[in-house]
A and B are shown apart, each in its own frame.
Chain A
Amino acid sequence: MTYFLQQLINGLQLGFVYALIALGYTMVYGIVRLINFAHGDVFMVGAYLGFFAIGSFHLPFPLALAFAMAGCAVLGMAIERIAYKPLRSAPKIAALITAIGVSLFLEYFTSLNFVFGPNYQAFPIPFKVTVYQLGGISISTIQILVFATSLILLIILQYIVQKTKIGMAMRAVSHDKETASLMGINVNMVISLTFGIGSAMAGAGGVLYGVAYPQINPFMGIMPGLKSFVAAVLGGIGSIPGAMIGALIMGVVETMSSAFISSTMRDAIAFSILILVLLVKPTGLMGKKGSEKV
């Protein structure tokens, strides 16, 4: 039983990091119906910003986190402004291809020697790590940090979306863009903000991932990005609670497959979930059925 609980904790640690990334996917999809494939790479930039903040500027963890989140928010908004906004009235496929292009650009540009370099970097941990034993289960400071930070950020996000005016504007725009603009909402600003918030969450995810698995490189965002995308689809793309639940499920399933089946199967199983969801319930666990208005 303790073995199962330990594996569950491992899975939740992974799941919370996926949740932070998945939120960005789902929020952006909800608002502009675009799958932002570059999101995984914003996550990667967040990890590097955290790496520089802690390693070069010697900032304490909360400041480093804030630095990474701010940097990624700016990056996300810049990407939206430069790459996606001009294509808002173009067919969806154009924006999708552009997103892939932005993703590749971020990966290969940052792997140039004068930017981040293509080599692995060891992520510095700015606090002492202690391992607590509860019964037969080990929990380390890192796991506690991941849980705490993710939960706090998720609660803040829920508050913003549900209880503030700007959140209401975001929900309105994702419901119906034209009508929202008719109601006096500045749609462009709302879209920028959504990208900004989603990217900031991904940046936080990047720093936490760097702390938990302290080896970063410019291509580290590909796998977590893809898995978080699957998580967002699983939870219902466009639904924020769905993304959180989907991500936790993904993290736990991935860890359990590694624990009880085989570690080499974990990716195969994680991605089969995507196929299964699309076959059985394409709108996801909590997805809303998109109604076609004639």
Chain B
Amino acid sequence: MKKWYSIICLGLLFLTCGPTEKVIKIGLVAPLTGDVKTFGESTRNGFTIAIDEANAQGGINGDSIKIYIADDRNDPTEARNAGSKLLNQDGVKLIIGSVSSKCSIPLSEVCQSSSAVMITPTSTNPKVTVNDDNTRKDYIFRACFIDPFQGMVAAKFAIDNLKAKTTAILYDVGNDYVKGLAEFFRDNFLKMGGKTIIYESYTKDDVDFSALLTKVKRANPDILYVPDYYNKVGLIAKQARQLGIKAVMMGGDGWDSPDMLKIAGDAINGGYFTNHYWLDDPRPEVQSWVNKYKSKFGSNPDALATLAYDATTLLLEAIHAAKSSKPAEVRNALQNFKGLNTVSGSISFDATGNPIKNIVIMKYSKTGQEFVVQMKPE
């Protein structure tokens, strides 16, 4: 009897030491629903293409990747909760997210305090990677340029190319990204010799801009700068044109959405905005990316999808380079990247976790976006 017991026990022991498959957990936090849902959908698309590609090649370091997707509805509290859930409940320590700065900032606080790596594909506000006292959150990175640069380029374009002398700026007082970009544009516009004659704020839920826009009309500026997301910009553009405002409209990367023309129609025709990449960039990385995206999703990728793909690629390359998925080692690999080639440009992180990249100016026409010019950082 004893002999049988020992044989069974040994057999069971052998069963337990089979090959254990390690899985790398990667999370995504994005606004899949809510007021900027095209941002979230594009981000998720770019993210899944990158992950699927990696898994098709056998994963990273031999381990397959398991993804955890959370919807933050473009709300800062939801972003914080989604982050906590991924970190604490699902045990995810590598996160791509979020899209808007107002969500990425609280998400970055949660990730930093849990020493989890976070790469935001598109949040451009400086406060995502640094604390209020300017110390670095060393687990947090981004795949895009930051707003001081974006505001400066927009001002330069307005002064040099559009020959503008005066501008009116409208911004959402509760949104760090919009407020920040408005400030950077205003400061640079002033430095380059222009004057900001209207600098007015509105709140997130406002839909009636007639009073504000009447003020703008009376001031008659050359430029109307509205660095908000496409849903608000569409409304403002429509009401501005209805009031007879003739100023050229300008904005930031929040304008990039397939829904912009749907919402704004002809009102946004002739509007310029700064963005991260353009569809007809002849670089082979861009063209192969566009074909990849088109064959999977049937439409052209916007900057959101492209940056999500780049951010995910960065993360996967870092895991590969570090030969580990431990956050501390991945983080070091990321910081040490020099000139890693991605679709949206070559990435090297500076001391604040921000890459130094090119920027493009795009224009909305009646049918879509047109490339105007690419500007390099000085």
Contact = CB atoms under 8 A, between A and B. Distances in A.
A120 B202 contact: no
B212 interface: yes
B201 A10 contact: no
A168 B176 CA distance: 56
Given A129-B242, A263-B200, A119 B214 contact: no
Nearest to A119: B37
Interface stretch (A33-41, A195-203, A254-262): A254-262
Given A131-B244, A133-B244, A138-B242, A263 B33 contact: no
Interface string A131-153: 10100001010100000000000
Nearest to B231: A120
- The prevalent SS among residues of A at the interface is helix
Given A14-B208, A263-B211, A119 B201 contact: no
Contact of A118 (B34, B207, B243): B34
A214 interface: yes
Contacts of A131: 241-244
A267 interface: yes
B235 interface: yes
Contacts of B21: none
B370 interface: no
B211 A213 contact: no
A8 to B, nearest CB: 10
A136 to B, nearest CB: 9
B259 A122 contact: yes
- Interface residue range, chain A: 20 to 34
Interface residues of B, number: 33
B283 interface: no
A3 interface: yes
B33 A119 contact: yes
B201 A215 contact: no
Contact of A258 (B212, B217, B241): B212
A3 B243 CA distance: 12
Interface in A256-282: 256, 258-259, 262-264, 266-267
B218 interface: yes
A215 B212 CA distance: 18
A146 to B, nearest CB: 11
Given A142-B242, A214-B238, A263 B202 contact: yes
Interface string A206-223: 000000111101001001
A174 interface: no
B214 A264 contact: no
B211 A255 contact: yes
Contacts of A266: 206, 211
Contacts of B173: 264
B33 A264 contact: no
Given A118-B34, A119-B34, A131-B242, A262 B214 contact: no
A6 interface: yes
A7 B214 contact: yes
B213 to A, nearest CB: 9
B378 interface: no
A239 interface: no
B214 A223 contact: no
The 9 lowest CB-CB distance pairs between A and B, nearest first, are: A258-B211, A10-B210, A213-B207, A259-B211, A140-B242, A138-B244, A255-B211, A122-B263, A263-B202
Interface of B: 33-35, 37, 73, 173, 200-203, 205-208, 210-212, 214-215, 217-218, 231, 234-235, 238-239, 241-244, 259, 262-263
16 contacts: A6-B214, A6-B217, A7-B214, A120-B35, A120-B231, A122-B259, A131-B244, A142-B242, A214-B238, A215-B231, A258-B211, A259-B211, A259-B214, A259-B215, A264-B173, A264-B202
